[in-house]
């Protein structure tokens, strides 16, 4: 099975480099997992090609998440790193596609047209990081309250604590401790 994993990762790497050579910024192995860094504008086409290729059969989008690299060297290529976690159920193989987006106006094409499951994942990333997914049918907040301003998982959003209101302190305004 180990051999199979090596083959499929090589096949995917070759496929991506042949078909989207200009868009690939690097292929990285860390602790056995492959991460392909690509330019933001070719994400949709690449995923569509991977999905429709019958040999690779990358048919499962496991997760979408984002890392905020504020204040780190990695922020030079773009502060937000959006990571797509893709699987091939047939080959039992998992790999990652990473896209760096700039601090100002981070926008990327939505994958909802390929995977319906991307709908809630993208809404979550939009809500917590403020990444805009172009072409998403209903890009609204999903987790945080409507009145909350800002995107809580960004590194410049402070971790705060609000004193709970009980009958004994109901007249005191809630204190926000930073």
Partner 1 sequence: MSIQKTMTINMGPQHPSTHGVLRVVVELDGETVVKARPVVGYLHTGIEKTMESKLYYKALPCTDRMDYLAPMSNNLGFCLAVEKLMDIEVPEKVKWARVCLAELTRVNSHLVWLGTHALDLGAMSMLLYAFRERELIIDIYEACGGQRMMTSYIRVGGLAHELPKDFEKKVRKMIKVIRERLNDYETLLTNNEIFIQRTRGVALLSAEDAINLSLSGPLLRGSGVARDLRKDNPYSGYENFDFDVAVSNSCDAYGRYLLRIEEIRQSLRICEQAIDGMPEGPYRAHVPGVVLPPKEDIMYKMESMIFHFKIITEGFKAPTGSVYQAIESPKGELGFFITGDGTTQPRRVRVRPPSFINLAALPKMCEGGLFSDVVCAIGSIDIVWEKLTDDVV
Rounded CA gap, 166 and 170, in Å?
6
Between residues 39 and 154, which has the closer beta carbon with respect to partner 1? 154
Say whether residue 141 binds partner 1 (CB under 8 A). Answer: yes
Helix (H, G, I), strand (E, B) or coil at 48: helix
Between residues 5 and 19, which has the closer beta carbon with respect to partner 1? 5
Compute the least distance from the CB of residue 172 to partner 1, in Å. Answer: 23
Contacts of 132 (CB under 8 A, 6+ apart): 105, 106, 107, 108, 126, 139
Compute the least distance from the CB of residue 34 to partner 1, in Å. Answer: 11
- Among residues 36, 50, 119, 122, the one that binds partner 1 under rule CB under 8 A: 119
Say whether residue 122 binds partner 1 (CB under 8 A). Answer: no
Torsion of CA 57, 61, 62, 63, to 10 degrees: 150
Helix (H, G, I), strand (E, B) or coil at 117: coil
Say whether residue 65 binds partner 1 (CB under 8 A). Answer: yes
Contact criterion met (CB below 8 Å) for 88 and 57: yes
Say whether residue 17 binds partner 1 (CB under 8 A). Answer: no
Provide the binding-site residues for partner 1, judged by CB under 8 A: 30-31, 33, 35, 59-63, 65-69, 72, 74, 83, 85, 89, 92, 94, 96, 115-121, 124, 141-145, 152-153, 159
């Amino acid at each position: 099975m180990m051999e199979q994993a090596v083959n499929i990762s090589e096949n995917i790497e070759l496929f991506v480099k042949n078909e989207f050579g200009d868009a690939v910024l690097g292929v990285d192995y860390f602790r056995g997992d492959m991460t392909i860094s690509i330019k933001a504008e070719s994400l949709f086409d690449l995923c569509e090609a991977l999905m429709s290729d019958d040999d690779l059969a990358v048919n499962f989008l496991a997760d979408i998440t984002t890392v905020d690299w504020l204040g780190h060297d990695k922020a030079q290529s773009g502060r937000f790193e959006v990571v797509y976690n893709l699987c091939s159920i047939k080959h039992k193989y998992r790999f990652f596609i990473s896209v760096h987006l700039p601090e100002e106006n981070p926008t990327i094409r939505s994958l909802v047209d390929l995977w319906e499951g991307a709908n809630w994942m993208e809404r979550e990333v939009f809500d917590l990081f403020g990444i805009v997914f172009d072409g998403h049918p209903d890009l609204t907040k999903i987790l945080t309250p409507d009145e909350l301003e800002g995107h809580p998982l960004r590194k410049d959003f402070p971790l705060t604590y609000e004193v709970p209101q009980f009958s004994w302190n109901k007249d005191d305004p809630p204190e926000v401790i930073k």
